[in-house]
Structure formats: structure tokens, C-alpha cells
A = this chain, B = another copy of it.
Amino acid sequence: MTSRVESAAATRRALIEAAAELLDEGGPDAVTLRAVGARAGVSRGAPYGHFPDKEHLLAAVATKSWEAIGEQLDTLVADEHRPPAERLEQALRGLMAVGRGHPHAYGLMFTAPTGEHPDAVAAVSRTHDRFLQLVTDVVGDAERARPIGALLMTSVHGIIAMENNGHLTVEKWNTTGDGLIRALIDRIA
């Protein structure tokens, strides 16, 4: 662990993890380069040895979140015992669980300007591909699955976003995020 490249890689990982933790605990405002450095055990300017600026660090955090969801979907794709429809529903509910458990991280995933960050774009693309595979397993045809998957993905994202921002109250809409997922599956997939 005392090798220079190993130590640098460990520091880089620690910075990303520290930023993710601070984001989870205190929201975007808590993610200060000084606080990130402190939690990672380095000082305030250390991130600039690994990232051009703060935005790239946050993009790395978002990439990690996308990859985590991708792996989650991967295990669902591989689980061939269960019926495809059940796996797809599990995927949608898994997305909601992430959005609820880590609302700030979830927001970051859809906030980072993706165009400037190829790694993030690739991670998003891979995750979306796995999601489309799950949809394909349900509807049969891969080409037909694409717009259907888009409708499912955008709708679930909208449900999570409005739930996290307090715009989805039971008093107003007489339903919950879970209920909307159910309705979505019944009407679309």
C-alpha cells in the first residue's frame, strides 16, 4: 500500500467516497472541497491532483452511483428463475429504493452535465442497456422494448423526483409512489 500509484488511487477513491457520504448526510451544500479533503484524510487542495475541478469530482460520484444501479440490474438480468415481469417490477422498485434512500445522490445522477464527462455517460449508457434488457425479456422484441423502456424509465424517474421534492402528496393525488409504480406496470408493461 506504500506504492505511490496505489496510494494515489486510494486517495482518489477516498475522495469520491467522502464526497458521496457528505452528499448523503448534508446535501449538496455540505459537499465542500475542504470537507471532502478532511474526511478523506487529506487537505483542501488535494482533490486538484485527481480532478480538474469540483464538477469532475461530483461527476465521478454520479458515475459510481450509476454503476451501483447497473450492478443491481445485472443481478436481476441474470436471475432467470423468476418470471421476466417480476424482475422488471423489482428493477423499478429498486430504482425507487435508491431514490428514497439516497435522495441527494439520486438528484446528482440526473444533475451532472453529462456531456462533459465521458465516464459518466458510459456508465449511464450501460445501466440503461441493462434496463432495456429487462424490458426486452418482458415484451419479447428488443426493438419494441426501447420506447416502452423509455416510457417506464422517464415515468419512474418523474415519480421519484416528485416524491423527493414533496410534490407527490397523498392528500393531493390520493396515491403514493408505490401505487404509481403499480399502475405504471399494469398499464404499460
Distance in Å: Cβ of A95 to nearest Cβ of chain B: 11
Task: Give chain A interface residues in 91-146, CB to chain B under 8 Å.
Answer: 110-111, 113-115, 124-125, 128, 143, 146
Number of copies: 2
A149 and B166: CB pair below 8 A?
no
The interface residues of chain A, by DSSP majority, are classed as helix
A114 and B167: CB pair below 8 A?
yes
In the docked arrangement, what's the CA distance between A82 and B167, Å? 29
A173 and B187: CB pair below 8 A?
no
A150-B128 contact given A156-B158, A158-B156, A165-B110, CB 8 Å threshold: no
Q: How many residues of A sit at the interface, in one of the four size bands?
A: 35 or more
CB < 8 Å neighbour of A180 from B128, B154, B174, B175: B154
A151-B155 contact given A111-B165, A167-B124, CB 8 Å threshold: yes
B165 and A114: CB pair below 8 A?
yes
Contacts of A168 in B (CB 8 A): 150, 154
B172 and A128: CB pair below 8 A?
yes
B154 and A162: CB pair below 8 A?
yes
Name, among A153, A173, A184, the residue most crowded by chain B CB atoms within 10 Å (CB to CB). Answer: A173
A73 at the interface (CB under 8 A from B): no
